[in-house]
Structure 1
């Protein structure tokens, strides 16, 4: 049976503040004698993200009640905890939870909050699922060319909306070491702008840009560019590749839309990119039949906000896991490792699409993928959350 609880806060002042924000559910006392497992909902209780926090809490409660509302011998209690407006309260909040009967935490709407909670929860094997975080380093580690999962207890149902070209720019600068790059606009100015802006943000420099491939490649050679990005279609990529061959410039050909599809789609050999080209493919979640996303706001009786649907999927994932890992456990703390093991096995039709997790804890199919062309075939070499 699921029981609602109010806010858990590290101080009495915070508790008083939080109790007035309209997010406190009533406690039932018909669960006496049942063991209790707590699901913490880590969201800001005040500030500009308070409304998003309320939506996340409502969605999680609805999903957990639906999936773990009848676990024999157990009461699953959903408790809201304040991460602070800038994540400053997250570490203390989750520390208090793990010292009790927490089995999972859902939330983390701020980057500092996620980073503060991750090591605390991971040390105690407490499942942590964010419906909002899309920072690549949080699941893939610091080096995009050699992804390494930092915390095995961390998962996320969020999917980033960043253009693949922007993710590729970061990968080029940080992963390939291309500090000087050139950009050819082969018919998609928005893609060219997204790539160029992301290069600047990553600390690289666009040393040549324009629509004429020959002119851009010539300047790229003069300026020492080590990568050339093509925005547009396959024809544009073939043109730039021919210019690179003719000039002898040793630069990596980069593309998103321009390098989509199979290498053989280019026709003649001279129209196919050379081995070593790198492309970015967009996140693509499998569509699911019969999902409730269209009625979800009505079902949970609250506005979804930016993260509500992903929070509902996070709650469904956690509730499904608890229904499996709690019955054989003797205590909440002893159930934690089993819950982590069950999480990686999930695959269900969620409100945001197919929900399953890859080896890094990200949504399967929900990350931008980087591939390099080797022996005429694309091989995945990295992912970006």
Structure 2
């Protein structure tokens, strides 16, 4: 496999793909080989630069291991700068898909992911993020009624975010709730996680406290469209009754509070979040992976190695029968959904939405006294 020659400028990706650094890496044995490019979308500078370098190194190592010896093909891994706020990502992705790109790994900020998704999806280019945490990127606008927006998008991120924070993302980003209420049923840590996440996302907690009646009354006055309950399931039952009695049009949200007998007589539509349950695997090597790739893993390095392993495995299957990189793209997407392997972070496979199976916070919705799994949120 031929490696890329460092960072590709956002406005000159195509030129860099044919630069001396890349051409100079082509050996005599590669003469006449077709080329397939894997872009790595990460920031070249700023506060996430070190994470970006770890992602790039991890992807290169993994792709080389799995797709470094495909007869008739040269696989290039090239870095593409997403910028600190995803600026110019769309131009970079357009130039990649106009060339011989078959996959892109990365997207460490939300703006970059959103800019890249539609462009890569339109051209059937596989897109895998080891870092993305936004529910609607895989589940659509409403995780309680999931609809996958981009079939080319997958995530290897491992869930680490508290379910309460995931519910805050759902409330503000999924439901579009600008005002939310919080009932403290005895778990201040959940209250804090939910409240801080709402604030970070630009929402507002307009009512909060342990007195159910007061919180619900204020929530109605202030126009809250979501109510989060922390702690005791008995308190959640009270909240459900008060919400219905007050005629408050709001979605009820909870994590531990929706355990016990809460669902036996509660109104349909309550949304519960539960922590990730990722299966460990034999041979997991994240402990020595940093030594193998030569850099500190950072926050996303292990998941990036799994993303690179997934991409490399897919390329080894879809490139040999293809006549060109572009003609291989659709077959690569088909192979991706079939993967199941022991990765650096645990068992790696994907659900119907492209999320890491078992590696994310799970959402479920109460329907006729039963919890129906609705989707997942990739963890941060």
Alignment correspondent of 1:217? 213
Give the structure-2-normalised TM-score: 0.84
Equivalent residue for 1:159? 158
3-state secondary structure, aligned to 1:295: helix
Is 1:278 aligned to 2:271, yes or no?
yes
> Which segments of structure 1 move beyond 6 Å, counting only runs of 4 or more?
12-16, 23-26, 176-180
The normalised TM-score by structure 1 is 0.83
Q: Is the 8 A contact 2:263 2:370 kept in 1?
A: no
Aligned to 2:207: 207
**1:195-239, Cα deviation, whole Å (9 max, x unpaired):** 2344554635442412xxxx323552465377653322xxx2124
Query: 2:130 corresponds to which residue?
Result: 131
Q: Distance in 2 between matches of 1:226 and 1:46?
A: 39
Could you say what the CA RMSD is over the residues aligned between the two structures, in angstroms? 3.2
The equivalent of 1:299 in structure 2 is: 292
SS of structure 2 residue aligned to 1:92: helix
C-alpha distance in structure 2 between counterparts of 1:338 and 1:13, whole Å: 25
Could you tell me how far 1:189 is from its partner in structure 2?
A: 0.7
Secondary structure (helix, strand or coil) at the match of 1:321 reads helix
Residue 371 of structure 1 is matched in structure 2 by 364
C-alpha displacement at 1:313, in angstroms? 0.5
Structure 2 equivalent of residue 39 of structure 1: 38
Report the alpha carbon displacement of residue 278 of structure 1 after superposing the two structures with TM: 3.4
Whole-angstrom CA distance in 2 between matches of 1:333 and 1:178: 41
Structure 2 match to 1:312: 305
* Displacement after TM superposition at 1:171 (Å): 3.5
Point out where structure 2 has 5 or more consecutive residues left out of the alignment: none
Moved more, 175-184 or 152-161: 175-184
Aligned to 1:88: 87
> Could you tell me which residue of structure 1 aligns to residue 25 of structure 2?
27
CA drift at 1:96: 2.2
2:233 is equivalent to residue 237 of structure 1: yes
Q: How many residues align?
A: 365
Q: In the TM superposition, what is the alpha-carbon distance from 1:249 to its structure 2 partner?
A: 4.7
How has the CA–CA distance of structure 1 residues 338 and 161 changed in structure 2, closer, same or farther, with 3 Å as cutoff? same
**Contact (CA 8 Å) 1:182, 1:208: kept in 2 or not?**
yes
Aligned equivalent of 1:68? 67
Distance between the aligned counterparts of 1:36 and 1:242, measured in 2? 62
SS at match of 1:294: helix
SS in 1 for 2:39: strand
Runs of at least 5 residues in structure 1 that lack an aligned partner in the other structure: none
Separation of aligned partners in 2, 1:124 and 1:14 = 17
**Is this contact kept in 2: 1:57–1:80, CA < 8 A?**
yes
* 1:358 alignment partner in structure 2: 351
